[in-house]
Chains A and B, each alone.
Chain A
Amino acid sequence: MDDNEILDLYFARSEQAIVETDQKYGSYCFHIASHILSNPSDAEESVNDTYYSAWKLIPPRRPQRFSTFLGKLTRNHSIDRWRKNTAGKRGNGQTQLLLDELEECVAGSESPETDLMRKELASALNRFLRRLPEKDRTVFLLRYYYANSQMEIAQKTGLSSNQVKYILQRTRKNLAATLQKEGLQ
């Protein structure tokens, strides 16, 4: 079913919207969630949370690109769930690796997660990513947005694992400098 038709179902408050969303994007959302959460049932729960959020947000929102809208919701729910599951203890799996890698980009002190801070961070990240060569941006987003392993990135881009590792190291270093310069570190 076409995305617009699915969105029409949401606007009509038809529960068929969830069925169609699951059919078309269920595996895509599960793929994102399962890279962040090592437990498959947690990943399933995150996907369900995604559908619930989509149901609450549409209407009034009508996403221009439904796939990335769902992807972002799934990603946020998965990170929140991972955070909840590992509260007070060191986590494991791919997400812990991502966080360990990103440690070098941030000062590490907990700052209040205000709307303003989120917006500033989002625009800084967008500016930073737009300046990157396409290849580096692709590798960086496959790692830190889609939570792909270095091996998966190598397979998807045709680069060697060492090249992927190097691009990630270099881009993290650049990101740290950017965040510091913009007072966001």
Chain B
Amino acid sequence: MTSIQLLKGFSEIDSELLVSVEQQTGKQKEMKSHRGIHRPFLLAALIALLLMLVGCAVIYVLSLEQLVVVDHTDEMVSAFEDDKSESFLDGSTETLPEITPGPFVAEKVLSIQGYEGSPAYNALQEWLTYVTDYIIRNPEVRFSDDFQRPEAYTNYPCYSQEMVDKVDEICSKYGLHLLGKSLFIIDAEGMEANGLSDVLSEEVAPRCFYGHLYQDGSFVASGELEFSGDYEKIVQFQMHNIKKDAFYTVHLGLNNISNYVQWNYSTLDGYNALLALNDQTGLIFVENGGRFISIIIDEVPDSNMVFTGFPNDKRFLEMVCDCFVFSDLSNE
């Protein structure tokens, strides 16, 4: 048998196994948004209080902790708890490679629409709390065909009119608007035609450049960047460039925030950016006049599917950050 015959063979597997995949990935989303809300950000509050007390202007230090909307840290279960040794069907055994046992769900859910206290952050937090509770009360609703989302709400994970009403309630409470219809842009020409290639500096030539443009002007741009010289690496990026007054429910799950090196960096166009890097992922957050911009950077494996990891060097992520333009496109 050849590998293509095997690959095609997967098309014949039972539908219920595929449904189980959908349920598992759905459950993962649910678990991410379930559990307690991390309420008091004491450190941030203390800093704010000190600033007020001393009455002086100090540059505010940005950190990942200010983006956390849900914290699961105390409730994590190791994904590999039962997998300490592995035996194969042919009777052989294998010692596990050196992998740190990790959690199956993300420890923390981060906002990619604004820092703590912003309307978009508060709206996301309220939405996630609501959805968790709603799904627990109505577990079957996600797999029902009974509800057709109204066109204006297709970008929101609503499974019932009640959820649509909640979206409206949150928008009204926090002064946010709906994203509107989205346009899927499949290639670099389309990105350029829609003005989205402006998010990359002129010298940068991305590969596999595509994205989504929402009716309100918010957008997501994805692609690959290849670097040579000191940092020979191909990275994939996903930029969420979202208007601050839009209601956006996409969020980021992260494990081991403490493994990230975090620092603030001034972008080439003068914005204060929060950068975070570990050996697998780079994160860039920039707030400009009207938008909150989040960029997630991951490594592209080499042709042998080997990940060599990101260099433990801040300059690497700063170099990636310098490939992007963060100026406000709100009025364009």
What residues of chain A have their CB less than 8 Å away from a CB belonging to chain B? 1-3, 27, 34, 40, 64-65, 68-69, 71-72, 75-76, 79, 83, 95, 97-103, 105-111, 113, 117-119, 121-122, 125-126, 129-130, 133-135, 137-138, 141-142, 144-146, 150-151, 155-163, 165-166, 170, 173-174, 177-181, 184-185
Contacts and interface: CB of A to CB of B under 8 A. Distances in A.
Residue among A34, A69, A106 having the largest count of chain B Cβ atoms under 10 Å: A106
A101 B304 CA distance: 9
B253 A158 contact: yes
Interface string B95-138: 00101001111100000000000000000000000000000000
**What 10 A-B pairs have minimum CB-CB distances, sorted nearest first?**
A122-B12, A102-B3, A68-B15, A40-B186, A177-B89, A121-B9, A177-B90, A138-B24, A99-B3, A158-B105
B88 A158 contact: no
Contacts of B15: 64-65, 68-69
A90 to B, nearest CB: 11
Contacts of A125: 9-10, 12-13
Contacts of A141: 10, 13, 17-18, 21
Given A134-B24, A141-B17, A159-B102, A166 B97 contact: yes
Interface string B174-208: 00000000001011000000000000000000000
22 contacts: A40-B186, A64-B15, A69-B15, A98-B3, A108-B1, A108-B2, A108-B3, A110-B5, A117-B1, A119-B12, A122-B13, A129-B17, A137-B17, A144-B10, A151-B298, A156-B25, A158-B253, A159-B102, A161-B280, A163-B79, A165-B307, A180-B90
B249 interface: no
Contacts of A109: 1-2
Nearest to A78: B11
B7 interface: yes
B218 to A, nearest CB: 19
Place the interface of chain B in its size category: 35 or more
Contacts of A155: 253
A89 B5 CA distance: 17
Contacts of B103: 158
A44 B230 CA distance: 40
A3 B145 contact: yes
Nearest to B82: A133
B94 to A, nearest CB: 8
A106 B6 contact: yes
B36 interface: no
